Amino acid sequence: MLRWLGGVLLLPLCMTPVIAQDESVDGVTASETAAAPWGPLLILDHAVLPGNKSAFLLEEDQDFDSSFVNSSVWVVHGQAEGPALCLTAGIHGDEINGVEIARRVFSELDPARMSGSVIILPMINLSGIRSGERYMADRRDLNRLFPGRRDGSLSSIVAGSVFKLVSTHCQALIDLHTGSFSRLNTPQIRVTVDRPSAIDMARHFGSGVVVLGDGPRGSLRREASEFGLDAIIYEAGGPHRFDPEAARVGADGVLSVMAWMGILQTPAKTIPFNSIFRRTYWERVPLRGGGFFFPEVDIGARVAAGDKLGTIHAPGYDKETPILARRGGTVIGMAVPQIVLSGYALFNIGIEGSDVFPGLLLQESSDPRAPEVDG
């Protein structure tokens, strides 16, 4: 139901009529048609006509710095009037599965059957995606720099460009991520606790679980939410690799949200309330318990307090350290088998609670040692 009104390679532009601000289509300029109830979408000095797809660059300046930030913008402008959704991916260069989700969504959408628009930024940290590096070329974490600034560092400039586009053109945002640093995430949607409309949006992603929490300061999701957008994150899979199932779930979830918004005229799916987690916590490597880590539960498994989650073997010392669950819940994130040291986060456990609604007061773990939240 309608809720609002409101690169590595560029895709071929031959299929996507785009007019600059001073050009005309059928004798009518973009500036004139912009005043119409539903005309071209004016974005980054381009005008995308209703019923069309387009692709162009976020930063088209011709200078050395721009070579690091000239990532793609993909636009699908529906034939009929409706709200606008922004879809972002590749904020972290090692999280390539989000880029694949964005590609699938763009390929799937038919603007002739849409009421509204979708604006996709599929490869925001383009240099990181090319090199496999998580952070930007200036070694900064882009997802701690929003809303950015145009007179700051290279990363701040990119953050500013992205945030301006999102905040100017969209009523809702889905930011695509994976687990970080040799960890996997089960499909999950993260959403701010004090925006009921955003929580409703998260539930209509239709698959996975929902984790309540504001997210860290400077993350795109948190800053967009505080700006006034309904913003969620989809996290699934791990870094540096493609996960076809996580990509399928993610693409289907984006389409479900679009249906809920009224952009697509298809049924929307819903995540049940008992899959909303009001709190999460991490099980870690105990003090001087490092060694070879092997998990003994699967991602997404439900566990009870005291259940064995995995074992750490200390080679050369004939020592084994079991990792036990302190509380029951669902394993929503976990480390892959690897060498680990004291304090390393191994299992992220989501805790259910019947008191999630209407209070929505408890959030995801505030443990300062926790791995990066929101990607």
Domain CATH for 346: 2.40.50.100
Q: Is residue 360 assigned to a domain?
A: no
Q: Is residue 175 located within the same domain as residue 289?
A: no
Tell which of 271, 306, 323 closes a domain. Answer: 271
* Nearest-angstrom CA–CA distance, 24 and 34: 12
The predicted structure's pLDDT at residue 7: 35
Q: Is residue 194 located within the same domain as residue 295?
A: no
Q: Is residue 367 assigned to a domain?
A: no
pTM as predicted: 0.85
Q: Is residue 357 assigned to a domain?
A: no
The set of residues, in sequence order, having a beta carbon less than 8 Å from that of 373 and lying 6+ positions away, is 190, 213, 215, 216, 219, 364
Say if residues 148 and 97 touch (Cβ distance below 8 Å). Answer: no
Q: Is residue 297 located within the same domain as residue 242?
A: no
Tell which of 248, 271, 294 closes a domain. Answer: 271
Coil, helix or strand for 180? coil
Q: Is residue 31 located within the same domain as residue 62?
A: yes
Q: Which domain holds residue 142?
A: 18-271
Q: Is residue 283 located within the same domain as residue 229?
A: no
Q: Is residue 252 located within the same domain as residue 314?
A: no
Say if residues 53 and 16 touch (Cβ distance below 8 Å). Answer: yes
* C-alpha radius of gyration, the chain, whole number: 22
Maximal CA-CA distance, the chain: 81
In tens digits, the chain (375 residues) has pLDDT values of: 434 433 333 333 334 444 333 343 334 343 443 334 689 999 999 999 999 999 999 887 767 777 777 899 999 999 999 999 999 999 999 999 999 999 999 999 999 999 999 999 999 999 999 999 999 999 999 999 999 998 889 999 999 999 999 999 999 999 999 998 889 999 999 999 989 999 999 999 999 999 999 999 999 999 999 999 999 999 999 999 999 999 999 999 999 999 999 999 999 999 998 899 988 999 999 999 999 999 999 999 999 999 999 999 999 888 999 999 999 999 999 999 999 999 999 999 998 763 444 333 333 344 444 565 565
Q: Is residue 251 located within the same domain as residue 283?
A: no
Say if residues 165 and 119 touch (Cβ distance below 8 Å). Answer: yes
Domains in the chain: how many in total?
2
Terminal-residue alpha carbon distance, the chain:
30
The predicted structure's pLDDT at residue 370: 55
Say if residues 314 and 291 touch (Cβ distance below 8 Å). Answer: yes
Q: Is residue 220 located within the same domain as residue 324?
A: no
Please state the separation of Cα 134 from the chain's center in Å.
15
Residue 160 burial (CB count, 10 A): 18
Q: Is residue 212 located within the same domain as residue 243?
A: yes
Nearest to 187 by CA among 267, 263, 88, 253: 253
Residue 137: both structure tokens together: 């070329």
Tell which of 217, 243, 271 closes a domain. Answer: 271
Say if residues 252 and 195 touch (Cβ distance below 8 Å). Answer: no
